[in-house]
C-alpha cells in the first residue's frame, strides 16, 4: 500500500465504519452502542498507529469552537418550534413530520439509562470527531489536491468548501441546520484548526443530547 493510500485509509476508515454499520444494523440502542464502540476502536487504531491526524490544540481555537458549537446547537433546536420550519426545512420536505406514537428506542424507559448514556457518548464524543476528521481534515483538502496532506487546512478554497458543506448536509435529516453547521464548522476549521472544529461539533452534539434527554425531544435522535 502506498503512503498516499494509507493516509486516505487512516482518515476515512472510522467514518466508513460508522456508515457501514449504520447501513446494516437495525435502529436500536444496542446497535448504536455497538456502532459507536466499533467506530471508536477503528479511529483510535488508525489515528494512534498510523501517520496520524495531527491536532494543534490552542486555547483560542478550542474556545472559538465551543462558542460556535453552542450557536449551532441553538440554531438546531429553536426553529423546531415552528411548524413552517419543520414542514419546509426538515425531511421529508413539504409535509409536517408526524410524531411517532411509539417510544424512542433511546428512551431510558425503553432501553435503560446505560444505553441512553451510550447514545449521548457516541453522538458527542465518537461520531462528532470522526465526521470532522473526515469532512474537514480529509475531504475538504482532498477535493483541492490528491496529495491532501500537502494542503494546509488554513487554505480557503470556495469550491471545495461548498462541496464539503453540501456532502455534510446530505448526511443529516435537517438540511438547513446541517448546512449552517457545515459552514460554521468549516470556517472554524480554516481559522482555528481541526481541534476547534472538533470542539464545535462535540459541543453541539452534547448540548443537543442534553436537550433530548431533559425535554424528551426524541425526534432529534
Per-residue pLDDT of the chain (221 residues; tens, 9 = 90+): 788 888 899 999 999 999 999 999 999 999 999 999 999 999 999 888 765 566 778 889 999 999 999 999 999 999 988 888 888 888 788 777 666 667 899 999 999 999 999 999 999 999 999 999 999 999 999 999 999 999 999 999 999 999 999 999 999 989 999 999 999 999 999 999 999 999 999 999 999 999 999 999 999 99
| Residue 101 pLDDT | 63
The whole-angstrom separation of Cα 153 and Cα 135 is 11
Question: Residues 6 or more apart from 20 whose CB is under 8 A from it?
Answer: none
Would residue 147 count as lying in a domain?
yes
The whole-angstrom separation of Cα 136 and Cα 177 is 17
Would residue 67 count as lying in a domain?
yes
The number of domains in the chain is 1
Q: What's the pTM?
A: 0.93
Please give the biggest Cα pair distance in the chain. 52
Would residue 36 count as lying in a domain?
no
196 CB-contact burial (10 Å; exposed 0-12 / middle 13-18 / buried 19+): buried
Pick from 147, 138, 148: which is nearest to 14 by CA? 138
Pick from 124, 97, 102: which is nearest to 212 by CA? 124
Would residue 45 count as lying in a domain?
no
| Residue 207 pLDDT | 98
Contact 12, 43 (CB under 8 A): no
149 CB-contact burial (10 Å; exposed 0-12 / middle 13-18 / buried 19+): middle
Q: Quickly count: other Cβ atoms within 10 Å of residue 51's Cβ.
A: 12
| Residue 50 pLDDT | 61
The whole-angstrom separation of Cα 84 and Cα 38 is 38
C-alpha distance across the termini of the chain, in Å: 39
Would residue 204 count as lying in a domain?
yes
Q: Quickly count: other Cβ atoms within 10 Å of residue 62's Cβ.
A: 18
Would residue 169 count as lying in a domain?
yes
Would residue 79 count as lying in a domain?
yes
Q: Which domain holds residue 67?
A: 56-220
Torsion of CA 60, 40, 22, 6, to 10 degrees: 90
Contact 157, 73 (CB under 8 A): no
Would residue 29 count as lying in a domain?
no
Q: Quickly count: other Cβ atoms within 10 Å of residue 193's Cβ.
A: 25
Amino acid at each position: 500500500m502506498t503512503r498516499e493510500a494509507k493516509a486516505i485509509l487512516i482518515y476515512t476508515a472510522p467514518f466508513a465504519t460508522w456508515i457501514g454499520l449504520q447501513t446494516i444494523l437495525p435502529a436500536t440502542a444496542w446497535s448504536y452502542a455497538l456502532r459507536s464502540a466499533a467506530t471508536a476502536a477503528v479511529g483510535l487504531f488508525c489515528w494512534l498507529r498510523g501517520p496520524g491526524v495531527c491536532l494543534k490544540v490552542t486555547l483560542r481555537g478550542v474556545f472559538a469552537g465551543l462558542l460556535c458549537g453552542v450557536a449551532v446547537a441553538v440554531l438546531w433546536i429553536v426553529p423546531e418550534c415552528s411548524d413552517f420550519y419543520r414542514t419546509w426545512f426538515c425531511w421529508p420536505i413539504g409535509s409536517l413530520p408526524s410524531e411517532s406514537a411509539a417510544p424512542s428506542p433511546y428512551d431510558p424507559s425503553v432501553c435503560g439509562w446505560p444505553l441512553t448514556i451510550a447514545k449521548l457518548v457516541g453522538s458527542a464524543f465518537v461520531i462528532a470527531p470522526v465526521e470532522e476528521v473526515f469532512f474537514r481534515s480529509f475531504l475538504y483538502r482532498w477535493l483541492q489536491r490528491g496529495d491532501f496532506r500537502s494542503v494546509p487546512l488554513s487554505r480557503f478554497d470556495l469550491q471545495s468548501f461548498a462541496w464539503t458543506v453540501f456532502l455534510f448536509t446530505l448526511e443529516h435529516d435537517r438540511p438547513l441546520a446541517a448546512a449552517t453547521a457545515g459552514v460554521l464548522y468549516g470556517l472554524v476549521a480554516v481559522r482555528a484548526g481541526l481541534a476547534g472544529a472538533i470542539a464545535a461539533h462535540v459541543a453541539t452534539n452534547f448540548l443537543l443530547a442534553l436537550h433530548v434527554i431533559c425535554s424528551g425531544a426524541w425526534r432529534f435522535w
